Amino acid sequence: VAHFRMAAAPCAAPRGVFAAASAAQRLRVNLGRRDGASVHARVAPRVRSRGSVTVRAAITDPPEISSPPKVQGPAVILPQVPIHSEAGDIMDVFPEDMILEPGELGAVSRGVMRAEDSERLNWYLRAILTANVYDVAVQSPLDAAPKMAEKYGVKIHLKREDLQPVFSFKLRGAYNRMAQISKESLAKGVICSSAGNHAQGTALAARQLGCDAVICMPVTTPGIKVEAVRRLGATVALEGENYDACQAYAKRRAEEEGRTFVPPFDDPLVVAGQGTVGMEGGRQ
C-alpha cells in the first residue's frame, strides 16, 4: 500500500463529508518499477472541503497463485473470494471508501480497514447480488408509514416481509444455503433447529428442492408453530427444554444420519440470502 499526500480540491460538500470520485475519475499512479516491471495503481481520491487527505493506492499486480475455493461444511462450496487478475484493474471496494467519520452511521467502526476486511466485504456483496432466493421468495413491497413518520419527524418505510409465503424473511437464507448443497447430500436430507421462522423457511425450501427435512424444535414450542411446519411436509422432532439443547440434538443427529445441518444465521450463504432484503430496499 502506498500513501500519498494530496491537496484538497474545492468541494461543495460540507465539512466532514467526503466526495468520492467516480470510476472514470480514478487516478492512475505510476509507482515506479519493481522486479523489472512497471507498477501502476488505481487510486480512488476522496476530497474533503478543508485540509489535506491521505489516499491509498491499491497495487493491482496479478496474483501468482489463485486461491482455491473455500468450503463451508461437507456439501457446500462457496464462490471464490474475488481475485483481481489483471494489472490495472480497479478494485471494487476501496478501504478509504468505508472509513466512517465521527457521527456517521455504518457497518465499519475502525479508523483503518485491513485488506482482508475489504476482500470479505467484496465477497458478501457479490454473494448477495447473486443469491438464489426467488424460487421461493417474492420481492416484498416497501410501504410508507406516514403516521409513524409524522410522529418521529423522519421518513419511515416498512419492508413487508410478512407477505412472504412463510411470513418472514428467514426463507431467503435457508433456501440460498440449501440450493447450493450437492444432489448427493440433498438425497440424505437436511436438518435444522428452530422454534419459529427458520423452521418454516427450511421446511418450505426442502419441499421446493424435493428433499427430506427434519425440523428440531424445543418441547416448549407452541402447537401452532409445530403444525405450520408439518403442513409444509417436514418431519418435526420435539427435543430439548430450550434452544441450545435442541440445537445440540440436531447437530448430533445430522452427524449420525449424514444430513446437512442448515444454520439459522451464522453461515455466509444464509447471510447472503437474508442480505437480498437490503438489496431490494436499495432498489425500491
In percent, the amount of the chain with pLDDT more than 90 equals: 52
d(CA 178, CA 188) in angstroms, rounded, equals 12
Q: Which pLDDT score is estimated for 105?
A: 60
pLDDT-derived band of residue 100, with 50, 70 and 90 as boundaries? Answer: low
What does the angle CA 142 – CA 123 – CA 84 come to, to the nearest 5 degrees?
Answer: 130
Q: What predicted TM-score, i.e. pTM, was given to this entire model?
A: 0.63
pLDDT-derived band of residue 98, with 50, 70 and 90 as boundaries? Answer: low
Q: pLDDT tens digits for 4-55?
A: 343 333 333 333 333 333 333 334 434 444 444 443 444 444 333 334 444 3
Sheet holding 27-34, edge to edge: 2-6, 53-59, 37-43, 27-34
d(CA 218, CA 198) in angstroms, rounded, equals 13
